[in-house]
Structure 1
Amino acid sequence: MINTKLYSKQITNNDQKLIVLVTIIIPVYGNLNLTKKCVSSILKIKSKIPFELIIIDDASQDATPDYLRYISRQYPFVRTLRNEKNSGFAVACNRGAAISRGKYLLFLNNDTVPLPGWLDALVEVAERDERIAVVGAKLLYPNGTIQHAGVLFRNFPFPLNPFHVYAGKPSDFPEANVERDYDVVTAACMLVRRDVFEKMGGFDERFVNGYEDVDFCLRVREAGYRVVYTPKSVVYHLESATPGRFDHSIPNIRLLHNRWMGKVNYVLKKEPRVTVVIVNYNGWGDTLEALSSVFMKERYERFNVVVVDNASKIDLSNEIKAFCDDVGRSYYRVTENVPSHAEFKGEVFFKRLGVNKGFGGGCNEGIKMALAWGADYVWLLNNDTIIGDLAMYYLVSLAEYFQNVAIVGSQLRCYPDVEKVQFDGSSVSYRGISEAKDVEKILNVSFVSGASMLIKSDFLRSYGLLREDYFLYFEDNEICLRARRCGFEILYNPLSVVYHKGGSSIGDFMESPISNYYGIRNSLFFYEEFYKNHVWDCVDYIQRSVLPKLVSKGDVLGLEAALEAIKDFLQNRKGPRESVTDGEEGFRESLSGNQPHYANLLNSLLRLQAALLRDPGRQGIIRAYFDTVRTLISLRIEGRRSDRVGE
């Protein structure tokens, strides 16, 4: 029972200090109507517990300051503070705690409505045992169902994900009406011993509007104290009404995981099976470094790795085997017959191809093995990457959480300059994006980079693997677009961080002849097929940016590769540059009556190409060349449009 006599006499001295048992601390930011309703409900409830009320205005822009001045004049036990800038829940609560007088601190959201007996029930539990440092209430949604009855952890949708037990159940759900210890209770209504709060250093202010209470409760438990939930204290809660409540969710999650992964128990959902596919081409040093990061940085357990060698000059499979021996992983060399079974216990499979099949073809070799083994996901990972902590876990957990997602991609950062963002969900730059957008937000996007791309196996089985006719570049764009056109979503998860060297096999994008060739040719094929209006932008970019840059550098080989790319596109040739697939027959049929005109224009283009290579600086030749290119593309588009009408 509560010793109310000890605290029942409130004495006012010269400093107008009140002797109180509980200091109720309410941080507010706007939402004045909610604050009024919360404070009014507290004042109306009769309680034996002497309390004071501290309201911290976290730089509200509405009429909140006027109301707080009024309420503090009306009631001597109400004090108010104002932050000049919005600092978040932890800072506001810590500031309130610093001027508190009570033995207990009661942190309360302003979007709550306490019911009679709420305060007495919390204090009664705390007074029962000095080891009880934190007591949480039962929180109800406005419709009367349970929002909070204690917090547990599970491993999805994040590797360490706190969740409200019995959320959505009726308020009289039997299991939710039993007092018990938990690892965590919510600070939407949380009673804390002030001496313990001070001993713990208060809320960690690195958390901003999220997980401050989770981290605090875990630190309390780690220090040997108890965290208790009582169903006798009941509060209605309009969850997360504060503006900007989730603006910092990604940094908060990352901080929580860095501190507490492996230290708390959680409800385990069986991990899906993942095959990591890494394609190597003359980059064994990078490949071994990528493999090493997977086994050193990842805590995900149910996966295996397929390394596909795209006919590199040297067969270094022995190095892969030696690496596996060093890290204690099983190694299998795949020749003609693919093993019929995989255990998904971190084993590594190596397959060396007789010919270079490009990025798409190499990835597909690994994907086919993964599908044969029953993998739930395939993670395409460039060999010139180093993964961040839990990169795979974050990808899989998000894909599992959203059922309509086909592909999830990582945030890419430059390496070794890891502060620069290379892919932010909308833009890609090997040198780093000057103004990266939404770096710390999970986004529904149009594409993600194939340097780190998780794909659901069910999607691959139903809608096909990567395009192999591109050979290099735009395979990732195409499969993302295909997924979206089939009604699936593509997600960007910045929690999954992968450091990407970029261009280790063939140089930076559009910075080598081979990159110029595939970048130009495949961009034209891609935009012509999927975004015809943008194909003209692509041609303008080549004329105004790519060509002048090559000419100014005197890069004859790069210029020749760029012009060959345009020619092969116009002749509908795909595949590797050394042995392009001649698509002339079917293509010429699509031109219908424009065949002779197209052929004549193409011959003119070849003459202009030769002249341009002899004298790259002649503006008249450049203009004539690109005018001819635009006319040829118009004929291609018109021919394909007529083809569809005929169908």
Structure 2
Amino acid sequence: MDSLAIVILNYNGQPFLAKFLPNVLAHADGHPVYVADSASTDGSVSFLRTAFPTVRVIELPKNEGYAGGYNRALDQIRSGYGGATYYVLLNSDIDVTPNWLSPVVSLFDANPKLAACQPKIRSYSQPDLFEHAGAAGGFIDWLGYVFCRGRVFATFEADRGQYDDNSPVFWATGACLFVRSSVFHQTGGFDAAFFAHMEEIDWCWRVQRLGYAVWTCGQSTVYHVGGGTLHKSNPHKTFLNYRNSLFMLYKNWPSDGWLWPKILLRLILDGVSSLLFMKEGQWPDVWAILRAHFAFYGKLPTLHRQRNELKRQQLKEVQVYPTSIVWQYFAKGRKTFQEIYE
């Protein structure tokens, strides 16, 4: 078994592989690098075999998104290559830096209850700023809205060293997600129904309820392009984010007494956000929110079974941010993580 495996899930991302894979290989510290290809049609597999013969290529039969793709790829790495103690789930549009691995591995080695960790994620196009997908570690409020150290909604902080510590967080980003393989396989990996977006937050919530920890490592930094597979302006991304947030909240919120009031308030706030899309003339996003709600209603029987199964396990409750981040940001004008947590 390898001590660590770097695993990149690819779908029609040959330009990103050509641009960023050389740096990944240069700073892999001798660890194996895998590319799991989700039935790309852009020649990615033949390109990899020709240009990067040392990369271990896994050909998946179809595109099952981030969640299903990584589940299948990591199962194949475990069965076909002996697995690894730690996996790094790395987006193809990430530019790594020297010494990005060892500080995170040291954290895992020192803490056997650590299940997941992320480095600082900065913007590739604006390198001084934290990037949307994870920034310096993620949190969640009582309505299931997510925010980060270094990024709250559309406010991005410059990295001035304010988050250089190693610290517990609620979730670690899937853009560059270090996981303990035994915990990943113990939990069955991601919920494949999410397809993409928020599956890592759902998983981080579940592993913390099992008694494991999620951290961010301030001594490791990578740079993220963002939207490499699905651009932020794509209405399908809107659909996935709104739908999966409801999936996650329904499955994991521990108190039955407050569950449906929270869901109702979320649905109302989603409706308010659709008015903002209308104002900008972004009608496909409005339709995406409506579809997300109906997809949630259609999934309720399955979600209810999953929720009951988690309840039967008598898992520990995990603390979330106790009030509304929407209220803090839009009503009180608190735009940064430090202002919100003061």
TM-score bracket for this pair, using the shorter chain length = 0.7 to 0.9
- Deviation for aligned residue 1:287: 2.5
> Could you give the per-residue CA deviations for residues 514-553 of structure 1, whole angstroms, max 9, x where no partner exists?
10111111111111121336534532431222x0222122
Give yes or no for the alignment of 1:433 onto 2:145: no
- Deviation for aligned residue 1:432: 6.1
Could you tell me which of 496, 509, 512 is aligned with 2:234? 512
SS in 1 for 2:299: coil
Identity level (%): 22
Counterpart in 1 of 2:71?
364
SS in 2 for 1:515: helix
- 2:38–2:60 CA contact under 8 A, matched in 1: yes
- Size of the aligned set, in residue pairs, is 283
SS in 2 for 1:525: helix
- 1:414–1:432 CA contact under 8 A, matched in 2: no
Counterpart in 1 of 2:49?
321
- 1:409–1:449 CA contact under 8 A, matched in 2: yes
Could you tell me which of 51, 55, 58 is aligned with 1:348? 55
SS in 2 for 1:421: coil
Could you tell me which of 185, 192, 198 is aligned with 1:468? 192
Counterpart in 1 of 2:220?
496
- 2:14–2:43 CA contact under 8 A, matched in 1: no
- Deviation for aligned residue 1:433: 2.1
Give yes or no for the alignment of 1:280 onto 2:10: yes
Unaligned runs of 5+ in 1: 1-270, 325-330, 332-346, 574-582, 591-647
Tell me the distance in 1 between the aligned counterparts of 2:206 and 2:156.
26
RMSD (Å), alpha carbons: 2.6
Tell me the distance in 1 between the aligned counterparts of 2:303 and 2:119.
41
Relative contact order, CA 8 A, sep 6+: which one is greater?
A: 2
Letter paired with 1:455: V
Of the two, which has the highest radius of gyration? 1
SS in 2 for 1:279: strand
Tell me the distance in 1 between the aligned counterparts of 2:27 and 2:262.
40
Letter paired with 2:239: Y
Tell me the distance in 2 between the aligned counterparts of 1:550 and 1:417.
26
- Deviation for aligned residue 1:431: 6.3
SS in 2 for 1:447: coil
- 1:308–1:353 CA contact under 8 A, matched in 2: yes
Tell me the distance in 2 between the aligned counterparts of 1:434 and 1:290.
25
- Deviation for aligned residue 1:435: 7.1
Letter paired with 1:313: T
SS in 2 for 1:469: helix
**1:122-141 aligned within 5 A:** none
> Could you give the per-residue CA deviations for residues 17-43 of structure 1, whole angstroms, max 9, x where no partner exists?
xxxxxxxxxxxxxxxxxxxxxxxxxxx
- Deviation for aligned residue 1:424: 1.6
Counterpart in 2 of 1:557?
284
- 1:421–1:432 CA contact under 8 A, matched in 2: no
> Could you give the per-residue CA deviations for residues 269-309 of structure 1, whole angstroms, max 9, x where no partner exists?
xx9621111111222111333322212234x22x2122122
Tell me the distance in 1 between the aligned counterparts of 2:243 and 2:235.
12
Could you tell me which of 115, 120, 136 is aligned with 1:424? 136
Counterpart in 2 of 1:402?
111
Counterpart in 2 of 1:294?
24
- Deviation for aligned residue 1:394: 2.0
Counterpart in 2 of 1:538?
266
Counterpart in 2 of 1:413?
122
> Could you give the per-residue CA deviations for residues 95-146 of structure 1, whole angstroms, max 9, x where no partner exists?
xxxxxxxxxxxxxxxxxxxxxxxxxxxxxxxxxxxxxxxxxxxxxxxxxxxx
Counterpart in 1 of 2:312?
none
SS in 1 for 2:5: strand
* TM-score, scaled to structure 1: 0.41
Could you tell me which of 92, 95, 102 is aligned with 1:386? 95
> Could you give the per-residue CA deviations for residues 135-184 of structure 1, whole angstroms, max 9, x where no partner exists?
xxxxxxxxxxxxxxxxxxxxxxxxxxxxxxxxxxxxxxxxxxxxxxxxxx
- Deviation for aligned residue 1:469: 0.9
- 1:377–1:457 CA contact under 8 A, matched in 2: yes
- 1:278–1:306 CA contact under 8 A, matched in 2: yes
Counterpart in 2 of 1:484?
208
> Could you give the per-residue CA deviations for residues 202-234 of structure 1, whole angstroms, max 9, x where no partner exists?
xxxxxxxxxxxxxxxxxxxxxxxxxxxxxxxxx
Letter paired with 1:380: L
Counterpart in 1 of 2:336?
none
- 2:25–2:33 CA contact under 8 A, matched in 1: no
- 2:114–2:215 CA contact under 8 A, matched in 1: yes
Tell me the distance in 1 between the aligned counterparts of 2:95 and 2:62.
27
SS in 2 for 1:478: helix
* TM-score, scaled to structure 2: 0.76
